[in-house]
Amino acid sequence: MSDIIQLLPDHVANQIAAGEVVQRPASVVKELLENSIDAGATSITLLLKDAGKTLIQVIDNGKGMSVTDARLCFERHATSKIKDAKDLFNLNTKGFRGEALASIAAIAHVELKTKQENEELGTCIKIEGSTITDQDVISTAKGTSIAVKNLFYNIPARRNFLKSDTVETRHIIDEFQRVALAHPEISFLLHHNGNEIYHLKESNFRKRIVGIFGAKMNEKLVPVEEQTDIMVIKGFVAKPSYAKKKRGEQFFFVNDRFIKSSYLNHAVNNAFDGLLESGSHPSYFIYFEVPPNTIDINIHPTKTEVKFDNEKALYAILRATVKHSLGQYSVAPVLDFNRDATLDTPYDFKDKPAVSTPKIIVDPTFNPFKNETTQVSTPKTSSPTPKTSFKSDYKDYKKDAGSWESLYVNTHQEVQQEQLFESKQETETGKTFQIQKKYLLSTIKSGVVLIHQSLAHQRILYEEFLTNITVKDANSQQLLFPINISFPSSDIEMIQGIKSDLESAGFVFNEFTNESVVIGGIPTSISESQISLILEQLLDDLKLEVPETSFSHYDVMAKSFAKSLAIKTGTVLSIKEQETLVNNLFSCKEPNVSPIGKPTFKTLTLQEIDTIFSK
């Protein structure tokens, strides 16, 4: 029998390695930015075209490479970061495996330009699918420029798996933000399709956070700082009042490297215990400094998951530090055992007797009409009216009513009984019942139907919005005073990407700036107070994995609008509103499920109900 095991060709091995390192354009951006930082750059520019599918170019002013290094950097496992296995546990750089450039060169057209400071001329190398096609001596600036074109050109299947430009751009911006937040001492510039998204100058941590997430972020931040023998913690958490429904602005950095850690995230959430509404998540930007030999970052290809030697201690210190900061800045209630001198009793009043409570005396026999009689004047008529005194009237009234108090009590009881009777009558005539302000119970011939009021309303609104957007001409109402809404630069880019779709839905945009949107018109189905909520929900949904189809944006918009505007759990509905909701639900094309696939109602037959009580 012939041998069946053989060595893979280098280009195939590189393509397989690329599958681990390069999952999407954002992976390339991460690797190239980290290489520039390791090269000592103080200024980095990122240029993109078509969400990185056509072009990803990173230009830096780092130390550059020699001719030999420029060729060798594209070989697998070629690295300047480690010499032997011991160095893996004492890393102070971003990259160290030597796989990134080799993997990128295997699946794209790459052009590298680089020059060292003490050299007069630089080197230009062009590579296509791991094969060097050209190498020249050129005149170029100090540092390195690397352009990655036509990503996955030789692996069509991988290219087809990429998402829409909006989603891929969002992933790239996420990676860019993580690197930029970790290195405020470096200036960054980001352009996409010729538009400037970020221009971040050299600054400190707070200014870098504000530069990325907008000026309004500054008022939300609470400083966090602690120094111990095993670690240094610094950074910021957002005030509880600015918590979000989705995990968005949550960043951990260890030795200037972005990481993900559900364990540390739990520590922060624990520090916010009792300060957040159910389902809300705090925002935080926390930086750790620990000895490099106490962490292992070589456990995942993306290097975003790390293992700590002393996780429990880190958890306890982080939780205590965040909790202390929230109390120190009067965000959370704290116990203060320091005596406040302003609460002391003045010396002059120290020995004075306590003030006695005055007694209130009431005369139950008091009658303001006791010695007073008044002539009642009446208009002149043919028959005179006899004189009447208030005293006699009061006696007659007292005889009939018994007392003022009894009259009030009797009248109140009659009104209360009448209200109860009307409420009972209204309930009996209704066909639906509301349970715990969350569900509606409606009777049918075969049994009962239990309806989730919020999910049912989402289905109704979803189909209405989808019809208005795709079939009918959406109506727009012009605002008397245009509304200016602030967003981070990355979100402005996303809104511009779906501007035409939003206009089809009825929005009118007057102006776009780097940090705000001016809206002059909105769909007739929403109100001014709901605009910000709807757009934020829409952006959150667009950041999810949405397939590239001509219908996807409309579908996501309709789902977001429905989710934002649907009645919430805890809303009390009148009988008429309940019946309208039920009728509209069963008039939908797909009443069984909500826009996100959850069931909207459950039918219980009489047999199923009988079975419950027959056990």
Q: Among 425, 437, 465, 451, which residue's Cα sits nearest to residue 581?
A: 451
pLDDT at position 445: 80
pLDDT tens readout for residues 134-180: 999 999 999 999 999 999 988 888 888 888 888 888 899 999 999 99
Structure confidence at residue 563 as a pLDDT band (50, 70, 90): confident
pLDDT tens readout for residues 58-72: 999 999 998 988 888
Two tokens, residue 603: 């039918």
State the pairing for strand pair 250-254/221-227: unpaired
Query: Of 29-38, 115-124, 440-449, which range is least confident?
Result: 440-449
Structure confidence at residue 477 as a pLDDT band (50, 70, 90): confident
Query: Of 24-28, 317-321, 485-489, which range is least confident?
Result: 485-489
pLDDT tens readout for residues 510-520: 988 878 899 99
pLDDT at position 332: 59
Q: How far apart are CA 122 and CA 142, in angstroms?
A: 8
pLDDT at position 80: 54
Q: How far apart are CA 440 and CA 451, in angstroms?
A: 5
pLDDT tens readout for residues 199-228: 999 999 999 999 998 888 888 899 999 998
| Neighbour-count burial of 51, counting CB atoms closer than 10 A to its CB (0-12 exposed, 13-18 middle, 19+ buried) | buried
What are the strands, taking DSSP E only, across 50-172? 55-60, 109-115, 122-128, 131-138, 143-149
In a 3-state reduction of DSSP, which class is residue 480? strand
Q: Is 72:105 a contact under the CB 8 Å cutoff?
A: no
pLDDT tens readout for residues 529-554: 878 878 887 887 777 654 444 445 67
Backbone angles phi, psi at 569, to 5 degrees: -60, 135
Q: How far apart are CA 151 and CA 19, in angstroms?
A: 12
pLDDT tens readout for residues 245-298: 777 789 999 988 898 888 899 999 999 988 887 778 889 999 999 888 888 765
More confident position, 195 or 344? 195
pLDDT at position 12: 65
Query: Of 166-175, 180-189, 193-202, 411-420, which range is least confident?
Result: 411-420
Q: How far apart are CA 432 and CA 586, in angstroms?
A: 14
pLDDT at position 10: 66
More confident position, 392 or 447? 447
| Amino acid present at 9 | P
Q: What is the dihedral of CA 316, 321, 326, 327, to 10 degrees?
A: 90
pLDDT at position 550: 43
CB environment 451-483: b (16+ within 10 A), e (fewer): bbbbbbbbbbbbbbbbebbeeeebebeeeeeeb
pLDDT at position 41: 94
pLDDT at position 57: 96
Structure confidence at residue 300 as a pLDDT band (50, 70, 90): low
Is residue 390 pLDDT above 50, yes or no? Answer: no
pLDDT at position 386: 47
Cβ neighbour number for residue 157 with a 10 Å cutoff? 7
| Amino acid present at 554 | Y
SS3 string, 443-478, reads EECCEEEEEEHHHHHHHHHHHHHHHHHHCCCCCEEE
pLDDT at position 427: 40
More confident position, 7 or 591? 591
Is residue 337 pLDDT above 70, yes or no? Answer: no
Backbone angles phi, psi at 413, to 5 degrees: -65, -40
Cβ neighbour number for residue 48 with a 10 Å cutoff? 25
| DSSP H helices in 24-75 | 25-38, 67-72
pLDDT at position 78: 58
To the question of pTM greater than 0.85 for the whole model, the response is no
Which run of H or of E encompasses 548? none
Is residue 93 pLDDT above 50, yes or no? Answer: yes
More confident position, 370 or 540? 540
Concatenate the DSSP letters of all residues of 177-203 into one string. Answer: HHHHHH-TTSEEEEEETTEEEEEEPS-
More confident position, 404 or 121? 121
pLDDT at position 55: 95
**Range among 82-96, 533-547, 582-596 with highest mean pLDDT value:** 582-596
pLDDT at position 42: 95
Structure confidence at residue 94 as a pLDDT band (50, 70, 90): low
pLDDT at position 126: 94
pLDDT at position 18: 58
pLDDT at position 172: 93
Determine the average pLDDT of the residues in 578-584.
90
Is residue 429 pLDDT above 80, yes or no? Answer: no
More confident position, 89 or 362? 362
Structure confidence at residue 454 as a pLDDT band (50, 70, 90): very high
Is residue 405 pLDDT above 80, yes or no? Answer: no
Is residue 114 pLDDT above 70, yes or no? Answer: yes
